[in-house]
Structures are given as structure tokens and as C-alpha cells.
Amino acid sequence: MTQTVTYTRHGAFAEALIDNPPVNATSASVRAGLAAAIRTAEEDPAVQALIIRCAGKTFIAGADIKEFGKPIAPPQLPTVIRMMDEARKPIIAAMHGAVLGGGFEVALACHYRIATPSTKFGFPEVKLGLMPGAGGSQRTPRLAGLAMTIKLVTEGGQIDAKTAHAHGLIDEIAEGDLGAAALAFAERLVAAGKGARSARDLPMPADDPALFEAARKTLARKMRGQTAPLKALEAIRLGYEMSFDDAVVRELEMFREAMAGPQSKALRNLFAAEREVARIPGLPETLAPRPIKTVGVIGLGTMGRGIAMAAANAGLPVIAVGLDLNNLDQALRAIGKMWSGNVAKGSLTQATMDERLALITPSADPTDLAAADLVIEAVTEDMAIKTEVFARLGAVTRPGTILASNTSYLDIDALATASGRPEDVCGMHFFNPAHVMRLLENVRGARTAPDVVATIMAFGKRIGKLPILSGVCDGFIVNRMLAKRSREAFFLVEEGANPEAIDKVLVSFGFPMGPFALGDLAGLDVQAAARKARKASATARELRADFVEQMVAAGRLGQKSGAGWYRYGEDRKPAHDPETDRLIAAHAQKHGLLRREVRADEIRERLLYAMVNEGAKILGEGIAPRPHEIDVAMVNGIGFPAYTGGPMFWADQIGLGKVLASIERFRADYGDEYWAPAPLLVAHAGQGRGFYG
């Protein structure tokens, strides 16, 4: 019937089989094919029911994102769904895999629904700054009630077939072959005299204003700053304010308004960027990665333990090398404790935990790493120690074994030289906690072999990470940009800004926390060690702003000691601490600093534009091949709000000319040492273009 929909007769029953790889998205040909199938079935007197099923791994898993922002070819999805509503013969959705977004709306518009036990259902639109646009906000409550609808439509999560069945969203869970089960289901319907039915004809559930208000407060807290979840909640209420048909029309208008808005554009760009970063410019897609059957981890502190867990979580054997037997025992007990926590929460079974623990082989002898295909070093962040470790690794591992450092800012090329096998050496910077955090900052050295790059990118995906590729520089992408934000935060405190006010500005912008609360969480002793390691390259003013060192000397390490920039009680919530005020005042007096009132807009611009300018330098130097890597890294690494699209996309939306004008103003006030604009930023602003073109 069309390229992507095949219409077949099975006696008195017709089947429309969608085959539109990879996820059977509702692209134009699918919509046209479904419309034609419905018309054909309706016009054929021999057909008693129509089954809609999909080939491949999934039912319709959403809209065709390539069509977003472009004129939509007819028929549009609401038109096809209206045809289902008006059909006289039963239409049955036979579902497997993921039934998401527009695919879920198609299923809900069918008159009956059958699914395999493993099928998942959801409306992920809010994660792209959108909401259902083809009746999802109206059919779902009529079938499943308010509470389930609010959860599905506003939060973007998924439910399983058992839950969907319990809430009336599907009629039957299929056993065995889905095609055969759907045909048998259709036969039973017809034999029982059951005809077409539509969710549009069902009444809305009893209104519950208190439930809506509670949901509104929860969304404002959990999805702070995002407009789509609250718009989706508003769309559900339409069913109480107007007829079904009018509500569906208004829902579509709201969907289109959201699509044209800045948050959806940003989130869709980020969605595309997360897929683009997997394709490395200049690296042939046909390049085969090296086989990784066993992973080695050397250094079993907090990061090494997390890395070992991440590999074991993916089913990979791990050789875990520690300093001595006592160190190994501590590490294994810590790993067991973390997994036991998951068992207690019900997210992991005891049997799975035992299997994962069995994959980790402890050793105090680095020569045991000869059996590993990839060794990840996670020893203390000291260049002399790491150099010694890499020299040893180069000697005890097989040629071709990949040697990766988890360093967050040290020179990968120097470690590569120390190994004697620079082509096998790379960086793999995990974020803490390593078994939880999604981002993996892979680092390509000057002499890293291309197939090593291909391997570590593939390995990152294999262990459930989001890998991006960086070149070698101090701090790579995330910590290099974050260092500029930290610099300005310390300078602003010297100049007169309150740490709480600085944190508040960034939280209001959309960050989960500000730089000072983040420092307390990570540990000021850790931050002090990083400052010490970078002392040789720091400026006189950066060294003068030694607040962190002063706090550590006073035993104020952050949350772990009960006090840092803030004071902490048993609930670990930050509270104002007068001791911090006294420390800042004494610092200003010691250095003869005259503090002033600093406005929120200056705080915001200095912290964010410092990162944007550094990002432009990273691009100009070729450390990151595209702005995509930077935005994906900063959103997933430090919580730059996703609904802005990341720092580089956000700067594009502001306009690089405007960003440059502010940077030039700061340059005039604070000098080239800190605010020399990146040449790439100057060039792009002069051409009236953005980082994305």
C-alpha cells in the first residue's frame, strides 16, 4: 500500500503491518499507509476488523523527529486518528517493544489493545519540551483515570504492560506469538458481537482540583524551570472545560506553541547532539574497535570502585588492583555496601548482586593486569605517581591493551610517553559516582591510535554511559570550563557578592546547585588539592582568592565535616554560617579590598559567559570537534540546564554579538588576563552566525 505499511487479509480480518525502521516512527509514509488501510478495511464488506501491528523490535515509538519544525506532509497524525474514531469496524493495536508518544496516541485511538508482557508505554514528549498533540491528554484520563494520566503525561516516564492492563490502557496481555494472539483476540471480539468503540465517547473521570494542585507543586519542584510539564498538566484539564473534540483541537495548538518555543528547540537540539557525538569526525564508521573481554582497574579509591562497578554492571570481568590486601578488602566491602543499598531499595536482586561481585577479581599485583584488554588507572591525582603507574602498566600489559587514565585534568600525552606505548594510551574521565553518572569524557592523545578511539567510544555505550570525545588540555572540556566559572565566583566574593547570592543566581537560572554548595558537596579538601596541582599556572589574583585553602585549614571541608561555605545539620541541608561572613571580611581586610554591591545580572553574565568564552576557545583549538560535545558534556557533567540546550546553544539563542559585547565590557574592567574574547567567538559574532551555524 505504501513503502512502510503493508495491508494483508487473513480471512475476515485485515492487518496493517508497519515496517519503518528503526523505531517505526509516524513519518509521512506511515501516516498515509495507515489512512489507506483504514479506508480499505472500511470499504471491504468481507473485512470484520483491522489489526495494526509493527515489524522489527518495536511498535510505533514516537514521531519522526526529522519532521519537527518543518511543514508536515498530509495526512497529519490527528487526521489519521480521527479516522480511527469514526471507523465502524473494530481496530485493534497489537503492540510490542516501546509504545511511545505519537505511537501511544495511535494505540489509544484504536478500539482495542493487546500487548506482549515486555511492552513499555509512555509519553516522553515533555523531555523534548513538548506535550501530547494527538489526543493523548484526553484519551488517557478517560481510560486510566487522573492519577495515572498526570504521571504519564507530565513526567515522561514509562509503565509496563502489567500496569497498563491494570489501569485499563490495554485489554489483554498476549502470550506467545503476537500476530497469532492478535488474530485470535480479533476473532473472539467478533464472535462476542463487540464492535468499534472509542475512548472519545467515555466521560472524564471525576474532577480532583486538589490532585491537580499537588501535581503542579511537585512539577514546579522536580522539573524546575521547565514549561512543558505544566503545559501538559494544563492540557489534561481541558477535558473538564470543553468538549472532547474542542479539547483535542486546543491540545494540538498547545503542542505547536511548545514546539515553536525556546525550550523545545533547545531540548530537541540536545537530543540530536547526544546522537551526533557518537560519530567522530574523521573516524571511519567501518573502523573495528578492539575486543574488550576483561577490564582492569588500578587504584581502588572512590573513583576506582565506581569504575569497577560500572564494568561489572555491564557483565564484564574486572581485575581490580589495589595497594595491598587491606586496601582490597576495604574496596570490596565498599562496593558490596553500595550494591546492597540497591538491593534494599528493590532496584537490584541479591542474585544479580552476587553475580556482579563474582565478576570482580581483587589483586595487589599489577602483573595480573596482563589478562586485561583495557586497563583504567584511577590512582591519586598526582602526576608523579600516575607517571610511575603508566610506566609499570606499559611493561606488564600486552601490546594492544588499551591504557586509560581517569584523570580529570592531567596531561594524557605525558602519561602516554611514560607508558612506552603512546598509541595505546587515552583518557577516560568518569564523573563521581562513576557507576551512576552518565557522562564519560574520553580523551584522545596526540598519538592515540584511531581504533583505540573507536574502542573507548563503543565501550562507553556498552557500560551504559554517554561518551563524548575531547582532546588533551588542562581539564579537558568540563573541568576546563568549570574552572572559569569557579574563578569568577571567587573573584565575585572578593568584590562583594555573597556566596549564597551567587548560588541563588545559578539555581534560578536552572542549575541544581551553585558553585559554593557544589564545592561543599564534593569536598573542599578535594577542591584545595586541585588548586594546589594547578598552582604553577595560576595567576596572582587566583592564588590570592584562597578561600578554599583557608576553610580546609580551619577543618571546614564541606558537608562531610558539617561546615564549609555553609553549615550543615543532620539533614545535610545548607544553612547560612556567620563564620563564612567573618572569613570573607577578614580576607578583604587583609588584602585591602573594598567590597561593593554586585547585581544578579552581573553575577549571571560573569559566571556563564566565562564558560561560553572558554567553550569557544576549546572549539577554536580543536579540543572539541563541534559545539555538540561541549553542550552534551556540560549538561550531563555539571547540570547546565538541559532546557537551555547547553552553554553554546544558549549563547547562540542570546546572539553571539550580545555575548561578545558583555565580554568586551568585562575585558575593559578586568583585563585580557581573564576576559580576552576567544578568536572564534569574535569571528562568529562578526559574521552574524552562531556556534551551530
At 234-250, the pLDDT tens digits run 999 999 999 999 999 99
- Which residue's entry shows cell 554548595? 517
- Which residue's entry shows cell 594547578? 534
Q: Which of 536, 569, 590 is the last residue of a domain?
A: 590
Q: Which of 572, 590, 608 is the last residue of a domain?
A: 590
Has residue 280 been placed in a domain?
Answer: no
Mean pLDDT of 333-357: 95
- Backbone φ and ψ for 470, nearest 5 degrees, come out as -125, 160
Q: What is the DSSP secondary structure assignment for residue 460, as one 8-state letter? A: H
Catalytic residue among 33, 107, 115, 125: 125
At 432-471, the pLDDT tens digits run 999 999 999 999 999 999 999 999 999 999 999 999 999 9
- Looking at the structure, do residues 11 and 92 belong to the same domain, yes or no? yes
At 71-80, the pLDDT tens digits run 888 999 999 9
Has residue 272 been placed in a domain?
Answer: no
pLDDT of residue 1: 47
pLDDT of residue 273: 97
- Looking at the structure, do residues 499 and 461 belong to the same domain, yes or no? no
pLDDT of residue 145: 97
DSSP 3-state of 657: helix
At 588-640, the pLDDT tens digits run 999 999 999 999 999 999 999 999 999 999 999 999 999 999 999 999 999 99
Mean pLDDT of 45-59: 97
Mean pLDDT of 15-41: 95
Catalytic residue among 25, 49, 101, 105: 105
- Residues ≥6 apart with Cβ < 8 Å to 323: 300, 364
Distance of CA 381 to the CA centre of its chain: 27
- Residues ≥6 apart with Cβ < 8 Å to 280: 453, 454, 457, 469, 625
Residue 32: CB atoms within 10 A of its CB come to: 19
Would you say 487 and 674 are in contact if contact means Cβ atoms under 8 Å apart? yes
* Burial group, residue 360, by CB count within 10 angstroms (0-12, 13-18, 19+): buried
- Which residue's entry shows cell 505511537? 103
Would you say 115 and 164 are in contact if contact means Cβ atoms under 8 Å apart? yes
For the chain, give the percent of residues with pLDDT over 70.
Answer: 100
For the chain, give the percent of residues with pLDDT over 90.
Answer: 93
Mean pLDDT of 659-688: 97
- We report the CATH number of the domain holding residue 382 as 3.40.50.720
Question: Structural domain tally of the chain?
Answer: 4
The CA-based angle 584-588-590, given to 5 degrees, is 115
Cα(305)–Cα(337) distance, rounded to whole angstroms? Answer: 11
Helix segments in 478-599, DSSP class H: 478-495, 499-509, 515-522, 524-533, 540-544, 547-553, 578-590
pLDDT of residue 149: 98
Mean pLDDT of 374-395: 96
Catalytic residue among 97, 102, 103, 690: 102
- Looking at the structure, do residues 466 and 483 belong to the same domain, yes or no? no
Has residue 274 been placed in a domain?
Answer: no
- Looking at the structure, do residues 57 and 135 belong to the same domain, yes or no? yes
Q: Is the pLDDT of residue 421 over 70?
A: yes
Contacts of 37-44 with CB under 8 Å at 24 or more apart are: 37/1, 37/5, 37/7, 38/80, 38/83, 38/84, 38/87, 38/91, 39/83, 40/1, 40/7, 40/14, 41/14, 41/87, 41/89, 41/91, 42/87, 42/88, 42/89, 44/14
Cα(241)–Cα(96) distance, rounded to whole angstroms? Answer: 35
- Looking at the structure, do residues 625 and 571 belong to the same domain, yes or no? no
Cα(507)–Cα(504) distance, rounded to whole angstroms? Answer: 5
At 419, list the grid cell: 607508558
Pick from 70-74, 220-224, 248-252 the range whose average pLDDT is largest. 248-252
191 given a catalytic annotation: no
- Looking at the structure, do residues 580 and 605 belong to the same domain, yes or no? no
The CA-based angle 322-326-330, given to 5 degrees, is 80
- Residues ≥6 apart with Cβ < 8 Å to 57: 22, 96, 97
Taking CA atoms, 281 is separated from 284, 454, 467, 470, 648, in Å, by 8, 11, 15, 12, 19
Q: Is the pLDDT of residue 220 over 80?
A: yes
- Looking at the structure, do residues 345 and 243 belong to the same domain, yes or no? no
Has residue 347 been placed in a domain?
Answer: yes
Cα(452)–Cα(55) distance, rounded to whole angstroms? Answer: 36
C-alpha torsion sign, points 362, 367, 371, 374: positive
102 given a catalytic annotation: yes
Has residue 539 been placed in a domain?
Answer: yes
* Strand spans (E) along 65-208: 91-95, 98-100, 112-115, 120-122, 158-160, 172-173
Residue 37: CB atoms within 10 A of its CB come to: 27
Would you mind telling me the total number of residues written for the chain in this entry? 693
- We report the CATH number of the domain holding residue 523 as 1.10.1040.10
Q: Which of 429, 445, 470 is the last residue of a domain?
A: 470
At 63, list the grid cell: 514521531
- Looking at the structure, do residues 531 and 618 belong to the same domain, yes or no? no
| Nearest C-alpha neighbor of 251 from the set 262, 236, 263, 240 | 236
Has residue 269 been placed in a domain?
Answer: no
At 488-505, the pLDDT tens digits run 999 999 999 999 999 999
Q: Is the pLDDT of residue 281 over 90?
A: yes
Q: Is the pLDDT of residue 371 over 60?
A: yes
- We report the CATH number of the domain holding residue 639 as 1.10.1040.50
- We report the CATH number of the domain holding residue 40 as 3.90.226.10
105 given a catalytic annotation: yes
Cis peptide before 229 (omega within 30 of 0): no
Has residue 73 been placed in a domain?
Answer: yes
Q: What range does the domain containing 551 cover?
A: 478-590
Cα(375)–Cα(296) distance, rounded to whole angstroms? Answer: 4
97 given a catalytic annotation: no
- Looking at the structure, do residues 84 and 224 belong to the same domain, yes or no? yes
pLDDT of residue 2: 54
Has residue 91 been placed in a domain?
Answer: yes
- Looking at the structure, do residues 548 and 500 belong to the same domain, yes or no? yes
Cis peptide before 281 (omega within 30 of 0): no
Average pLDDT, the chain: 95
Q: Is the pLDDT of residue 417 over 70?
A: yes
pLDDT of residue 65: 76
Q: Is the pLDDT of residue 228 over 70?
A: yes
- Looking at the structure, do residues 226 and 158 belong to the same domain, yes or no? yes
- Looking at the structure, do residues 225 and 342 belong to the same domain, yes or no? no
- Residues ≥6 apart with Cβ < 8 Å to 45: none
